[in-house]
């Protein structure tokens, strides 16, 4: 980036900032959720399409420490973008000189909920940022899962209103920098939700796999080898996952940020629709409901067994007491 470009960034309110370990992937790749938007393998290579740039999103942890992350990014030579409205409080936005293509600046969105979105950032810089990010993650995810469940989408800058068209993002070239940043934020917000949802889909698939033998055991009349504590742990896992999806995220409702920004809301909603977020949430909730019914059945079954055991203990104690009373009377 030339001195002229740098001064232009500063004049637009983009202040200079001062600054995952690439772990080994697992032995087997995680299974992709069946409800996720399939990857588009027939996209033209970016190097052969000069005007196309790449936007890629990852979910790497449950949450980020944005304040300390900002400090480390500043120390590594990134620039903070402070032009977002105050009600976009749970996101850190930085700019990098290491853009993949000269058509646009390299911009990175860090969402407090544990997802990051890169716009036109070269691979080397992306890996560097992911290593920095590791130190500021709360409950990080497995590295192989993070890279398996990403979202990639191409974008370009051209004439006409910004939109999502045939799987690619078009950004209006006539927008001022502040408005262009807001539109990227809207697209990034939807992408961040999609990658978080993909992580939860894998968690649910793993949970279903862990209990899939129980119905067969019940059907064949075999003894279910689960303790009461293990069943309660399964119930806790289900409620934690349901809480993440339905209460602590924006998957079911449009965030308040878009209520008075109709244009941005349309971009956000169209991207969510393209990523099948509503359908995926519906499928997940249906799966969660079936799993909850099964775990409730197991809990009731164990409670009945426990109650029956207590009844037999009472009967035995009464029998012993009667026998002692008979011995006392007879002898």
Q: State residue 304's pLDDT score.
A: 63
Say if 226 falls within a structural domain: yes
Same domain, 9 and 109: yes
Q: State residue 298's pLDDT score.
A: 77
CB-CB contact of 134 with 110 (8 Å): no
Among 146, 177, 208, the domain-final residue is: 177
Say if 172 falls within a structural domain: yes
Q: State residue 273's pLDDT score.
A: 92
Q: State residue 160's pLDDT score.
A: 86
Say if 170 falls within a structural domain: yes
Say if 184 falls within a structural domain: no
Residue 252, domain extent: 197-306
Same domain, 111 and 76: yes
Say if 75 falls within a structural domain: yes
Say if 247 falls within a structural domain: yes
Q: State residue 297's pLDDT score.
A: 75
Same domain, 119 and 253: no
Say if 320 falls within a structural domain: no
Same domain, 24 and 168: yes
Same domain, 235 and 147: no
Among 148, 177, 206, the domain-final residue is: 177
Q: State residue 216's pLDDT score.
A: 77
Same domain, 207 and 282: yes
Same domain, 264 and 154: no
Q: Which residue has the tokens 């992937």?
A: 25
Q: State residue 42's pLDDT score.
A: 45
* Residue numbers in the chain where pLDDT is lower than 50: 1-30, 32-35, 37-42
Same domain, 254 and 284: yes
Say if 111 falls within a structural domain: yes
Q: State residue 187's pLDDT score.
A: 95
Same domain, 96 and 224: no
Same domain, 218 and 119: no
> 209-225 burial string, b = 16+ CB within 10 Å, else e?
eebeebeeeeeeeeeee
Same domain, 207 and 239: yes
Same domain, 172 and 256: no
Count of domains for the chain: 2
């Amino acid at each position: 980036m030339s001195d002229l470009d740098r001064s232009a960034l500063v004049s637009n309110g983009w202040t200079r900032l001062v600054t995952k370990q690439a772990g080994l992937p697992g032995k087997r790749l995680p299974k992709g959720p069946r409800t996720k938007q399939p990857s588009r393998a027939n996209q033209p290579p970016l190097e052969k399409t000069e005007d196309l740039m790449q936007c890629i999103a990852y979910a790497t942890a449950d949450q980020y420490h944005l304040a300390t992350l900002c400090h480390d990014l500043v120390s590594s030579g990134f620039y903070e973008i402070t032009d977002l409205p105050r009600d976009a409080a749970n996101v850190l936005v930085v700019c990098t000189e290491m853009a993949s293509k000269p058509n646009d600046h390299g911009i990175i969105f860090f969402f407090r909920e544990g997802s990051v979105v890169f716009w036109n950032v070269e691979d080397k810089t992306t890996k560097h940022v992911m290593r920095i990010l590791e130190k500021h993650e709360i409950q990080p995810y497995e590295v192989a899962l993070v890279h398996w469940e990403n979202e990639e989408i191409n974008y370009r800058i051209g004439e006409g209103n910004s939109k999502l068209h045939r799987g690619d993002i078009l950004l209006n070239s006539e927008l001022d920098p502040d408005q262009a940043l807001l539109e990227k934020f809207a697209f990034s917000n939807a992408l961040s939700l999609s990658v978080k949802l993909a992580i939860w889909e894998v968690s649910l698939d793993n949970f279903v796999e862990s209990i899939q033998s129980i119905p067969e055991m019940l059907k064949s009349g075999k003894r279910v080898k689960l303790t009461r504590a293990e069943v309660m742990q399964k119930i806790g896992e289900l409620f934690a996952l349901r809480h993440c999806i339905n209460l602590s995220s924006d998957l079911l409702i449009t965030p308040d940020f878009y209520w008075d920004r109709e244009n941005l809301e349309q971009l956000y909603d169209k991207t969510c629709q393209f990523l099948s977020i509503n359908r995926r949430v519906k499928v997940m909730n249906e799966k969660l409901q079936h799993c909850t019914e099964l775990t409730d059945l197991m809990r009731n079954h164990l409670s009945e067994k426990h109650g029956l055991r207590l009844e037999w203990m009472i009967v035995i104690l009464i029998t012993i007491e009667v026998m002692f009373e008979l011995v006392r009377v007879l002898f």
